[in-house]
Structure 1
């Protein structure tokens, strides 16, 4: 975590000013958004609690209202149970009676049942089954399910042993049934007389319940255990909702196929039923959701507006600075003619003053460089010509030709080869014709120089050449490789008794020409190597030193080119020449 913070802090410090402002404003906006989200979450949780309380209260009121109506109907069943007319009529049915007497019994029971049907408006029909299975009915058209589950109801009534039993059927979504066993109260014999079944219009009771969300589409559902036996209206994907609860009261949010619902439940001990109120989330929280979207839209608008203003404000500050940085990069690459590409800022604030002062400074430096360049060019040309004029070429050439002629007359081939190589070296070294030659010509000078040295050191000099064909026509300043081979002989070969390997290789690397001069001599320690790199160690004799070669390369091509020296004790020394790859001389 600490490393991550350090990394992010470093990245932030290295950002451009305009990006720092954008990040800073973004962090402030995110913090504000976090506070808003926390505030909204707290407000919404409180709102959810209020909704739950209201929903629970209304649901309890609704369940109490339903149960009050059911209790009234239960009172009706008790009155029927204890009605003397019905009792006497049912007792008569146990004996053999004539058709007329049977008609009279049916008439008496129908009149009594009809009077009870009108006692409660939610009673759909009343059915009385005597011990012989004969049905006595009053009221409206009964549900076909009543006869389908008749035996089930009679069985449950017997299990109730005279008490009221509520029967809910899965197939019946609108009605519920009250069933009760009738027993004789005469002489307290409690003889079985039949079974009473009353169909109640449960949907009519629910329709008159108070609504929690007026004018909205919540529905009442009643279940017994996990079995749903009543739904106020058809509900798609009802089986996808979870109606399993472990508490007497509560609420939950459920999602079905991407649609959310607010579900409140309340258990009732009266009939061991659970009452549910299912309200679509979008219906309940339409206004809240709208507020959320409005707040998010306003926040995003504010955020984008703030970012836009920050960018516009930062541009007024950073554009001149970026312009100045670009100009500095041009200067860093050696181009001091930045005034032709970049225009000084005309603003009179601190950045504008810095801008104009920089361009004034660059113009002055450019003038000084031009003056110094002309002076250095004159000095180098003078030094080089002075070096060339140290020897009288005509006298040397005539003398060497005489020595070569005498050597051939006396059949001294070794002396002849040495004299020819020496003459080739002298002609090319002091020639004023060309200051620039090809790699092939420079390597020929090296080969002639090595030819001379082989006669001196014989087998101790192990020389190798590896020059790629594509670099032989590449041009370079004269006398930058041969002096390096000479240094390798002086500082490596002469210091060793055993043979010394000296190699020269050249190849193209991208847009650059790399020339290596390596030996396996005694090498240098770090202190000596640093001194050589700084030019603090002078060459022995009057040869051309490493510092002189490096200065010539930098003078011609630029400071990014030159020599690279590496050396280790008893491992040898490696010198790398890095110059531009070009096959014609472009320097002027």
Structure 2
């Protein structure tokens, strides 16, 4: 049997290998030095352009701030600490806010501004009288920058709360000593980071380094600190070449800032330029030569490949009933057999996928029907009627709003799928608990311990609510004192932990173990609550969606309460 490699490998290896080797040696010798010099030149230009933009921004901020501190209204307000009345001081503050707003709108990069009066009080460009701003100036970003009593300068990037968290770089400038006080300009951090984001497209690593080596922007340096040039190395732009890379450091005017970039020589070869043209000619010649030499051989190979191509097109259009009929005495027969095997595998995978989709639809339907039942509607509306007779409008409004929230959650299950963010699950549980509190006054209370970073994490829908329902109807059913349900949600590395703890009547150890293992028979759902997704159902959903990556544990002792802990991957279920 003549193999394909016996037909073509000998001649192809000989011709193509010799051609590629010769051309590669010539190209490397001719263009490697050109590439390195051109790459270094281009990177130097990019860094200088960015430094010029940064220097222009810095210069504009300093000049603009200098104009502001000479404004008569701001000077007067910064120095005057006593007023005839609070109204007079507020009136003066409103005039200052108006003036600061006029200045702010003239510069897109200004997030906000503030005046630190000579007596230490802080007045923001928005009409806020909040001790938060005075406490803000006690943080390191401000105290470190102003420690040497310099007249003006920039702080390190930091966050302020101004209609939401804002990351800014603050420029401070002191009023003349005869007036006292200080002007603060909060510059949007993106005014700087956008320049560095654009610069990072040209370098492997980019860092914006402040005083004492503090890193204010980092792209690609990982946990290492960008090396800075020594004091003896002079110049605005310093180039350090290494064996396989080079580092450029640009120092910015009028600040202690530097921009450090790092480029490996691998990037040199992205500058193909003339080499692309050279290789295009070479490839064309090789193709022409191979076409003339191997046309008879290729013809004998193309026919079965053409049949396979047509069969693959049929498969791509959804027809999995195709078959190949060509006969060949080389490896193409193996390919044809493999193709047939692949089609069989695809058929089996499609069937398995359909079964999986069917199970998903079934689980979604079960989850939808588990949201709410007529008993819950009846009891809720009956409580509303009772409250209406008592004339308790506020309670009726609160209860109806919660009921509407539960209905909306049930209606939207098709839109959100089987997963919701933790904060949405919290909202649903709060609605449910608010309704139950009116039905079971002072019987229980709910406490949350939720980490902020855990709130956006998506978890299976209605995962926590059944645990709360079980605690209310089973944990406190025979308890005379007020019950407590404490729910904690937190991140543990790359996993999210949900813990529901109650101080109810608890259960025997063997029952808790059966619940955890899923061997406890299903029990009748309570008639007074939402349709229960029992603990067994929750465990099965976790097993189905997460496999071994999901875990549920149950700890309980009779008379001492129950703790149910669920741990899931924070990144979501595995496919």
Is TM-score (shorter-chain normalized) higher than 0.5? no
Query: Which of 1 and 2 has higher RCO (CA within 8 Å, sep 6+)?
Result: 2
Between Structure 1 and Structure 2, whose CA radius of gyration is higher?
Answer: 1
TM bucket (normalised to shorter chain) is 0.3 to 0.5
